[in-house]
Chain A
Amino acid sequence: MHNRKNKSKLWFDYRNRKLLKQKTKLKELTKRKGFLVYAQNMYIYEQRNIRKSLPTSEFKAPSNFSFKNACEATATFFETIINKRDSSKEGAVIRIDFSDVSKLSVDALMYLIAVMYDTYNGDKKNIIFTGNMPSHEDAAKIFNRSGFANYVNMQKDEIRPTSNNIKISNGVTTDVELAGKICKYIHANSNLTRIDTIPLYNLIIELMNNTIHHAYGDGYSSDYSKNSWYLFSEKRDNRVVFVFLDTGLGIPKTVYKKWQEKINFAIQDSFLIKSALEGENRTVTKLKNRGKGLPQILECCRSGLIDNAYVYSGNGYCTINKENDGIIQTKEMQNEIFGTLFSWEVII
């Protein structure tokens, strides 16, 4: 619960600000155009009051808000929020309490942004997210630096980090210019050349391709935005950290399964992800010349270009590190996440 005595800063759904601005504008218009805009004005007024009339549910973020470092707790948190969103047919205010968050990583923030963005761009207009800032100074800095604080307060859809070392992008097509810019940035800040970063370029494009072709499935029905991918990148000391995600069906649900796997409920999601990463014939199209997207991740890791990579999808969590000679370590999580989260680092 927001503690007014501690004066912790509240952040609001940016639409609230947008609605306020619209109302002010319409007020001025009403003076000039009179009754014609009265109905519009009333609509805006009603929208503001809708928020007041919606049921509010509060969710406390775990103290370690990070998929990388506290996967289970973070996944549980998101599962409850998404379930609440999906079950709120008449709308809801979802308030997130970040006050006790002391450790934070951007993969979790990015996933929250993706969930919010999908919600706002979907059909459910009466779901509103609000929340407060972490009390812990380091966590609050990450909030601000990542652009999350700006995102929820700005009147535009764009996410604008406050640090020049951070870029956040999203899209529904393969953004070749973005992939090229990322590689150029790495060339400019390291000794790596265009040829060195070829695997990275291919990886980014293949991830985007996979999202738009497979992540959201054929005939996937949802109230929310389809086919969106999200990419975060940040330069930290001698490395560039990347987080790429989508909020689709997840790899375990979208890869091809052999008939015996379909009836075997003991098959683990981490096994399916590992199998897809290793290039076993998991393409849903079942064509011979397909299924090369996910193996590109493994190739990139084993080439030595990237390190500390993980993939989290459904209940499956796979990590690939140089320390383990590029061998895929798997873990089956208790809670599933919706969609797929990839994270990796490039040493520069």
Chain B
Amino acid sequence: MDKIIINIATDYTDTPGGRYIKDGKYSGEDFRETMLFPKYMEAVNEGVMLEVNLDGCFGYPSSFLDEAFGGIAKALKRRDILDNIIIISNDQPGLYDDIKKSINEVEFEG
């Protein structure tokens, strides 16, 4: 297997929600904890890339992507997580930059 693939619209939801689980369904926090982070670590451990396909959804509230990807950077205290991730976003090409900006703006604790 040369890469692990997540297609958010078909594997998770086509209606991404807010930031936290307490905010409602399909939050960025829930996506990160149930799918993105486990798959990311699996990809890193196996030495392959994680491909995340963002196409096919009704939209991506900024707080969703921020919590999902920024949350991984915050947990691992690293900003280079995109080195192991391929982002596919033909519906909204600008999302890759938004995700990168979210990661760069994460404040590490401790």
Which residues from chain A sit less than 8 Å from chain B, CB to CB? 173-177, 179-180, 183, 194-195, 197-202, 205-206, 208-209, 212-213, 287-290, 292-293, 296
**For the complex, what is the distance from the CA of A287 to the CA of B17, rounded to whole Å?**
20
**For the complex, what is the distance from the CA of A174 to the CA of B21, rounded to whole Å?**
10
Interface SS majority for chain B: loop
> Which of chain B's residues has its CB closest to A208's CB?
B18
Q: Which of A176, A180, A290 is in CB contact (< 8 Å) with B24?
A: A176
Q: Is the CB of B70 within 8 A of A289?
A: yes
Q: Is the CB of B91 within 8 A of A198?
A: yes
* Chain A residues within an 8 Å CB radius of B37: none
**For the complex, what is the distance from the CA of A191 to the CA of B28, rounded to whole Å?**
30
Interface SS majority for chain A: helix
> Which of chain B's residues has its CB closest to A200's CB?
B59
B60 within 8 A of A: yes
Q: With A201-B59, A292-B63 known to touch, is A174 a contact of B17 (CB < 8 Å)? A: yes
Q: Is the CB of B23 within 8 A of A173?
A: yes
**Which of B43-51, B79-87, B100-108 lies at the binding interface?**
B100-108
Q: Which of B25, B58, B63 is in CB contact (< 8 Å) with A201?
A: B58
Q: Is the CB of A212 within 8 A of B23?
A: yes
**For the complex, what is the distance from the CA of A132 to the CA of B29, rounded to whole Å?**
48
> Which of chain B's residues has its CB closest to A207's CB?
B61
Q: Is the CB of A176 within 8 A of B15?
A: yes
Q: Is the CB of A176 within 8 A of B62?
A: no
* Chain B residues within an 8 Å CB radius of A173: 22-25
> Which of chain A's residues has its CB closest to B74's CB?
A289
Q: Which of B23, B24, B107 is in CB contact (< 8 Å) with A287?
A: B107
7 residue pairs, one from A and one from B, having the closest CB atoms: A201-B59, A174-B24, A173-B24, A176-B15, A288-B105, A292-B62, A174-B18
Within 8 A of A (CB), among B88-107: 91-92, 101-102, 105-107
> Which of chain A's residues has its CB closest to B98's CB?
A292
Q: Is the CB of B107 within 8 A of A176?
A: no
